[in-house]
Structure 1
Amino acid sequence: MSISGAVLMMPFAAGAQAVATPAGAQVKDMGEVIVYGKKIESNPNAENGVAYKARTSGDSRHTRPLAETPQTIAVVTKAAIDDSGMTDLKQVLGAQPGITLGTGENGNAFGDRYIIRGQEARSDVFVDGLRDPGMSTRESFAIEQLEISKGPNSSFAGRGTAGGAINAITKQATLDKDFTRVSAAVGSDSHKRVSTDINKGFGDHFALRANALYGDEGVPDRAPSDRGREGVAVSGLWERDRDLSVTLDYYGLRTKDHMPDLGAYLVGAVPNRVPATNVPVYAQTNDFLKSNVDTVTARINWKLAPSLRLTSLTRYGKSENSYNTTGANSATRFNGATGDQYTTVALDNGHSGWQDIDYFAHQSNLRWDVLAGGLKHEFIVGAEYTDHKVVSGNYAFTNTTPFNCKTTAGVGANNGFCWTDSKGNPATSDLTTFAGRSATRLGQNQDWRVKTIALTAMDTVDLTDKFTAFGGLRVDHFDLDLVRSNNLTNVTTGDYGYKDTLVNGHLGLSYKVTPKGIVYGSVASAQDINGGEADAGTASGYGGAVLYQNQIAGAKPETSINLELGTKWNLFGDKLLATGALFQTTKKDVMEGANYDTVGTFNTGKNRVRGAEFSLTGDITEKLTAQIGASFMKSKVLGSAVAANIGNPLSNFAERTASAQLKYQLTNAFSFGATVRHESDRCGGQPDTGAQFANGVCMQPVPSFTVADVFAAYRFNKKLDLRVNVLNAGNKDYYTAVYRSGAFLYKGDARAVRLTLNYEI
C-alpha cells in the first residue's frame, strides 16, 4: 500500500469476547463500532501516523530527533515521493527548495548533477551514510526517505559537501511486520511501471525483504526518446535479539535512456537571448545514456552494553556509466559551394564518455551514552576507510551521412549538419537519422583513484535542561592518484598524485524555548581537494585537477564555512514540524580554471552565499498533510583571478526556490492534492567563478518557471487503492539548466498522466 496515511476501517466486534453485565441491567445494542486508524509505516524513522514527516535521521550519528538537531536537514519520505508521482531522484530533488539542477559538466552527460545552495554536489550523494561514487542515474524504488543536509557538511561526510549532502536511506528487512505490496502503473507516453515490496519474517530471528522494479516510458512529448528502468533490492536480516542484528543487502539497477533528449538551446543576442521554441527531437537514433549499478552492503548493529552501541557498515560496489549524446545550436553557417552566409541550427559533433567504478567502503561508529561531570553526553567515535576507483574514457563517432554546410567562412569542404540550407529549405525530414551517427568505444584515458582514512569524534551534551551543545570533528587523510593517457596509443600523458590531510568541524548550540521548540546557532566547515571530481579529469574549470608545470601538488584545499541561526518547532502533538534558518556560506581558496584547459589558477577564488530557508512538514489538520518549503538566497563572487568575475552571482544559481505539496483526505476513501514548485531565473557559466554577464546582462539565461502537478487517490478497501497523477498539469514549457555556451538547455517534462494501482496483501 503505497499511499500512507490512508484511513483503515476495522470492525471492533470481529472476534470480540462477550462482556458480562450485572443481573437485571438493561442491555442496549450499540451496533457495530468502527475504529479508524492509520497505516503503520515500514520506515523506522517516520513520525507515527504522519505520512510526510520523519522523526529521526537514518544516520545513527544524529543522536537526537530532527526537531532537536541544530542544522537544516530536509527529509522527503517515501509516502511523499509516491504521492508526487516522481520516480527518478533527479525529479524528486529538483523540486526541493535550495537545490537546482545542472547540465552534464564539462560537456559530459553522466547521470545526475545537483547544486545545493549554489555549490556543486554531484559527487556528494550518499547511500545509508556511505558515499556513492561516480555519476549515475538514480532511482527511488528502494528508498525509504531522502535526507538533504544543507550547508557545509565535511564533519559528517568528508571531502566536498560545500553546499551540503544528499543521503538516501534504503528499505531494510524487518521482523516487525510481514507485508506484500504491488504497484502497477500505466499512463501517457507509453508509461509502464511495476514495482513490488515484499517483507517476510521466518521465525523470531530471520527476515527477508525484496523490492523489484520494471519501468519504461517515453519522454513526454519528445518521442522517440524514452527511458527504461529495471532494479532489484534484496535485504536479509538476522536478529539474535534486540541487542544484536546483522543485515546483508544487494542492490542492482539498470537504467537506459534511448536517444536522450538534450532539450533546446538559446537563440538571439544579449539582451534578447531566449530559449528556442518548437525545437524538434534531434537526438540521433544510436544515442544513449546508461547506468548499471551493483552493490553489496553488510550492516551490524550491536548493543555491547546498556549505554554502548556499535554500528558498522561495509560495502563493495561496481557501476558502469556510459553515454553518447548529440547537441544542437543556432549560429552563422556557410554554403561550402557558394560561400553564402546564413543563420541556422546545426547538430554538434556529439558528446560521449564511459566510466567503470569499483569501490570499497567501511564505516564503524561507536556510541557511548554516559553521565560525565554531572552532564549527559552522547559520544560518537568513528573510523572510515574508502577506496574509490574510476576508470574512464570516451567513444569515437562515425557519421555515414555527408556534411551539408560549413562552420567557417568561405568556399570549401563542408563540415557540419545544418537543419536548413541557405535558402531556408529543410535539409531532412527526420533529424534523428540526419548524421547517420554511430560510436565505437575507445580505451581509457583516465585512471582516477582516491583512498581515504577518516576518524570522527562527536558529542551531544545537555548543558542544562534547556541548553544542548553539539560538537563534531573529522580528520580525513587521502591519497589521490590521477593517471591520464592517450586512449588511441595507450601512452601515459600525465601522472599526477598527492596526499593531504583535511580537518573539519561542526559546532552547534540549541536552546529549548519550550519543550517542543528550539532556537539554535551553528558553525560548520567543509573542504574539497584539487582534482576531486572524477568526471572532470584535468578540466580545472569543472572541478578537475589544477596543474602547474605538469604537477598537481601545490594547491590548498578549498574551504567553506557556514554560519547558521535557526529555529525548529514541533506543533500539534508532534504532527507538524516548522523550521526557519538564516545562513551564510563563504568559500575561499577556490581553484579556478583558465580557459577550461589543463592549466589553472591556484586558490584565487572566493564566493559567498547568504540566505533564509523555511519549511513546514506534517499534518496541518487531521485531514490536511503538507510539505512546504522556500529558500531565498543571494550569491556573490568576492575574489577571482579574472577581475570581471568579481561581483557576479554564482552560475546556475536560483535566488528564489519554493515548493508546496499538499494532500487533503476528503473522506475515508478519497484524497486529493497538488504540488507546486517555483524557481527564479538563473544564469549559466563556470562553477565557482560566477555566471557569465556582458554589460550587466546574463549571457546564458534560464527563465524562471512555476509548474503544478495534481494527484488524487481512492481507496476501495484496506488492501486496494488507485492513484492518478497529472505531472505538469498546465503543460508548461520550462527549462531546468543551461550549459555554459547555451548549446544545451535542458527542457522539463511536458504534461504526463499516470494511473497507479496499489495492492497490499
Structure 2
Amino acid sequence: MAHIRSRKHNKPIQLLALLAASVPAAGMAQTTTTLPTVTVKEAAEVPYKADKSANDKIVAPLVDTPKTIQIIKKEVLEEQGAVTLMEALRNTPGITMQMGENGNTSAGDTFQLRGSSLQQSTFVDGIRDLGAVTRDTFNLEQIEIIKGAAGAETGRGAATGQLNLVTKQAHLGDESSVSGTLGTGSRKRATIDLNKQLSDTSALRVNGLVQDSGVDGRDHVENTGQGLALSYATGLNSPTRLYLYSQHIRQKNVPDGGIPSIGFEGFYNANATIRAGAKVDRENYYGSVNDREKINADMFTAKIEHDLGQGTTVRNITRVGKNSMDRVLTGINAINGTTAPALIGDPSTWTISRSRQRVDQDNTIIANQTSMNTEFAAGGMQHSFAAGVELMRESQTSRAFSTTGLTTPAANLYNPNPLDAMPMPYATGAEDHGSTSTLGLYAFDNAKINDQWSINGGLRLDRYKTRTREFTAGGVFNDLKDSDTLASWSIGGVYKPAANGSVYASYATSQTPPGSNNFVLEAAANNQNNAALDPQETSTVEVGTKWELLNKRLNVAAAVFRSVNDKQTSIDPVTNTSQQFGKTQVQGIELSAVGQITNFWQISAALAKTSTKQIDQFSGAGGATITDGVRWSPDLTLTLWTSYQLDKLTLGFGTRYVSEQKRVVNGANPAASNVPNIPSYWVADAMVGYQFSDKVSVRLNVYNLFDKEYLSVLNNGGSRLALGAPRSAAVTANFKF
C-alpha cells in the first residue's frame, strides 16, 4: 500500500482572518450612519438581462463585480428551443465540445473553456454536480458562467471557470404551463411546469419531462428519457424559509460512436488509394442495435434560511445525490485494406475495425453548506459580506470489463450493418473506488469606499483527502492517498465613473490537485494524477469595463484577460525525469451585450478572441517531443441571438462562429496525421413565434438554416468525427393555465 504524506505550504491565512475580523462582533457598539431617504421603484424585469447572480458568494451587482460573468436566462433557452446544457452553452463564447478517444465517445456533457475541461466544474445551485449525465434544461431557471480562475468560489479545480445551474423553485402564486414539441429526426418532447400556492406562505412546484427522439442526420441513434423535479417551499415572505426539492432523471439512449473521417479535409492514410477514398454517408451507424446508455440520476436537497434583520441572512443547505451509468458502445478504429492489395481498388470491400466497450459507473455526493450574508458599515466603508463552511464527500465506483478472447467483427466501411452479432463485454471482477472528502471555509467581501470606489475580494481554504483503491480480479489492490490544504483567492478594484458603469482590475487563483476530476490517483511519475505531485496552480489577471445602457435595459461589457495554469508535468530534457514546470497560457479579449435595445428588440451577443499556447511542455525520451498548442482551442468564437416582437408575432435569428480548432499540437506533420483540425464554421438558426392569446402560443425553430455541413467534434486521433446536425426544424406549442 502506498501512502503519500501531506504536504504543507504557506497559505494566506491572514486574508481570511482579515475578512472575518471585519464583521462586527455581537453586542459591540457600532457607528450609526443616517442615510438620506430613498424612494425605491420596482423595475420591470428585462428579458435576457440579469442584474445579480443567484450565487450568494457574488455579493455585488454584476455591473460592479470585477470578473466576467455571463448569465443565460430561461427566456433565451425557450426561444431557441435549447433542451440540453450543451445546446444552451452555445450562447457563450470560448466553450467548445469534445469527443472521446481510442474508439470511445465521452458520455454526458463534455466541454472545454479557455483550454481546460469544465466537466468537474459544473454546479447545481452552488453545489458540485457529478457524473456522466446529459443535463436537460427542463428544470433550469438560468445558467451562470464565471470565467477565469474560480477557486475562491468553488474550491478545487475551476482552473478557467465554472458553471452554476440554477433550478426552478416553488414560489407564491399559481402559474402552470405545458408544452409539446414535434420535429424532424423523430423528435418528440413534452414538458410540464406546475406551481401551486398552498397557503399564504407555502407553495409546491412540479416540473416534468418526457422525451423520445432520434437525431437529425443519424440512423439508429436515440435519446429517450424522463425527468421529474419536485420543489416545496414554506415560510415564503417570512423571516424563516424552508425549501425541499429533488430532481430525478432517467435516460435510455442509443449512443453514437461517430463516423470515419475518410474523405474529409486533411484526411491521411498510408495507402494512397484509401487516402483518396470518398466520404461515408453521414447517416451511417457503425454501432450495434444492442448498444445502450442507461442513466439514473437522483438529487435531494433541503435548504433553510433565516433573516436575522439588518441585512443579515443565515442558511444551511444539505444535499444527497447519486447517479449511475451503464453504457455499452461500439467504437470504430482503423480502416482495413492496406494489407490486401487486391481489395484496395474496390471501395465496396473496404472495412473498418470496431471495438466493444462497456462503462458501469456510480457517482455519489453528500454535501452540507452553512453560510451567512450580511451588510454593515465598518472602517469607513459599507460592506456586503458572505462567509461559510462546506463539508462534502464525493465518491466514484467504476467496474472493469473486457472482450479478450471474443471476436468483434469489422464493419463494411460504406455499408455497415447494425445487426451484426457483437460480443458483450464481460466483467473482469476488477473495480476502482475513488473518493474525496473536503472541509472548506470561505469569505467574500465587497467593500464600498465611496460612490466611485470599491474593493471586492474572496478567499477559500480547503482541506481535502483523496483516496483511490484499485481491486483486481484476484482480490489484490493498490491503495493511493493524497491530502493537502488548498488556498484560492481573488481580489479586485472597481471604479465607477458613472452610476451605470464600472472599470475594474482583478486577480484570481485556483488549484487543481491530483485526481481532482475523477478521484483516480496514479503511480506513474509522468502522470498528472500522480499522488506525489503538487496541485496545479492557475492565476487569472483581468481588466475590464461594464455598463448598463438604455435606461439599464442593456448590459455591455469588455474584458482583457490572461490565465496561466502552472505545475503541469513535463520531461526535463537534461535529466529525462518528470518535473512540474509545464504551463498553459490563455489570453485574449471578450465582448458582450445582453438585454433590450428597444421594448420589442432583445439581444444576446458575445465574442471571444483568444491566444492559447503551452509552455515548456516536453514528452518522450529526453523531452524529444515539444507541444506548444492546446487542442480544441479556437482563436475566435462568436455567438448572437436576437428577437423582435411585432404585436403577436415574434421573429428570432441567431448565428455562431467557431474558428479552426487544432488537433495536432505536438510538432507532428499535420499532412500525415489523419484529419489534423476542425475547420472553422458559421451556423445560423431562426425562429418564428405566434401568441394566439395570453394562454396559447406556438413556436417554429429552424436549425442550421442554410444546411451547412460542418465538422462539430473530432476524436484525439483524428480518425473519427461527428458532424453538426443538418437543417432541421421543431414546432413547439405552449399552453398556460
* TM-score range normalised by the length of the shorter chain: 0.7 to 0.9
State the match for 2:632 in structure 1: 652
Find out whether 1:515 has 2:466 as its counterpart: no
State the match for 2:210 in structure 1: 214
CA 1:754 to 1:341, structure 2 compared with 1: closer, same or farther past 3 Å? closer
Match for residue 281 of structure 2 among 246, 270, 278: 278
Matches within 5 A, 1:120-269: 120-175=117-172, 177-239=173-235, 241-265=237-261
1:151-197 CA deviation, whole Å, 9 max, x = no partner?
1100001111011001000000011x211110011111111111011
Deviation at 1:399, TM superposition (A): 9.8
Deviation at 1:715, TM superposition (A): 0.3
1:524-570 CA deviation, whole Å, 9 max, x = no partner?
00110112121866498998622xxxxx22x1110010000011110
Deviation at 1:453, TM superposition (A): 0.3
Find out whether 1:365 has 2:371 as its counterpart: yes
Contact 1:126 1:132 in 2 (8 A): yes
State the match for 1:570 in structure 2: 548
State the match for 2:644 in structure 1: 664
Deviation at 1:593, TM superposition (A): 9.5
1:567-626 CA deviation, whole Å, 9 max, x = no partner?
1110111111001100000111013599xxxx9944231120111001110101222101
State the match for 1:347 in structure 2: 353
1:315-363 CA deviation, whole Å, 9 max, x = no partner?
0001002322222245454668999899944132133312101110111
State the match for 2:441 in structure 1: 455
**Which deviates further from its counterpart, 723-732 or 447-456?**
723-732
Structure 2: state its 5+ residue gaps.
1-41, 270-274
State the alpha-carbon separation in 1 of the partners of residues 525 and 329 from structure 2.
22
**Aligned residue pairs, count:** 677
Match for residue 314 of structure 1 among 314, 318, 327: 318
State the match for 1:708 in structure 2: 684
State the alpha-carbon separation in 2 of the partners of residues 542 and 723 from structure 1.
53
Deviation at 1:262, TM superposition (A): 2.1
Find out whether 1:532 has 2:538 as its counterpart: no
State the alpha-carbon separation in 2 of the partners of residues 541 and 673 from structure 1.
53
State the alpha-carbon separation in 1 of the partners of residues 671 and 303 from structure 2.
53
State the alpha-carbon separation in 1 of the partners of residues 266 and 666 from structure 2.
11
Find out whether 1:481 has 2:467 as its counterpart: yes
Find out whether 1:741 has 2:734 as its counterpart: no
State the match for 2:20 in structure 1: none
Find out whether 1:674 has 2:619 as its counterpart: no
SS at match of 2:235: strand
Deviation at 1:86, TM superposition (A): 1.6
State the alpha-carbon separation in 2 of the partners of residues 611 and 664 from structure 1.
32
SS at match of 2:218: coil
Q: Structure 2 counterpart of 1:465, which letter?
A: D
State the alpha-carbon separation in 2 of the partners of residues 592 and 229 from structure 1.
43
CA 1:194 to 1:270, structure 2 compared with 1: closer, same or farther past 3 Å? closer
State the alpha-carbon separation in 2 of the partners of residues 392 and 195 from structure 1.
33
SS at match of 1:326: strand
State the alpha-carbon separation in 1 of the partners of residues 85 and 145 from structure 2.
12
Deviation at 1:249, TM superposition (A): 0.4
CA 1:437 to 1:535, structure 2 compared with 1: closer, same or farther past 3 Å? farther
Q: Structure 2 counterpart of 1:133, which letter?
A: L
Contact 1:119 1:162 in 2 (8 A): yes
Matches within 5 A, 1:496-515: 496-515=480-499
CA 1:325 to 1:399, structure 2 compared with 1: closer, same or farther past 3 Å? farther
State the match for 1:591 in structure 2: 569
Matches within 5 A, 1:593-608: 601-608=578-585
CA 1:582 to 1:133, structure 2 compared with 1: closer, same or farther past 3 Å? same
Contact 2:703 2:728 in 1 (8 A): yes
State the match for 1:622 in structure 2: 599
SS at match of 1:464: coil
Q: Structure 2 counterpart of 1:489, which letter?
A: G
CA 1:644 to 1:80, structure 2 compared with 1: closer, same or farther past 3 Å? farther
State the alpha-carbon separation in 1 of the partners of residues 162 and 351 from structure 2.
39
1:64-94 CA deviation, whole Å, 9 max, x = no partner?
2212211101111111011111211112114
> What TM-score results when the alignment is normalised by the length of structure 1?
0.84
State the alpha-carbon separation in 1 of the partners of residues 511 and 661 from structure 2.
26
Structure 1: state its 5+ residue gaps.
1-45, 404-415, 421-425, 547-551, 686-690
Matches within 5 A, 1:372-391: 372-391=378-397
Contact 2:332 2:720 in 1 (8 A): yes
State the match for 1:725 in structure 2: 701
Identity of aligned residues (%): 28
State the alpha-carbon separation in 2 of the partners of residues 157 and 334 from structure 1.
51
State the match for 2:398 in structure 1: 392
State the alpha-carbon separation in 1 of the partners of residues 345 and 671 from structure 2.
28
Contact 1:71 1:150 in 2 (8 A): yes
Deviation at 1:647, TM superposition (A): 6.4
Deviation at 1:695, TM superposition (A): 4.3
SS at match of 2:210: strand
State the alpha-carbon separation in 1 of the partners of residues 484 and 570 from structure 2.
20
SS at match of 1:438: coil
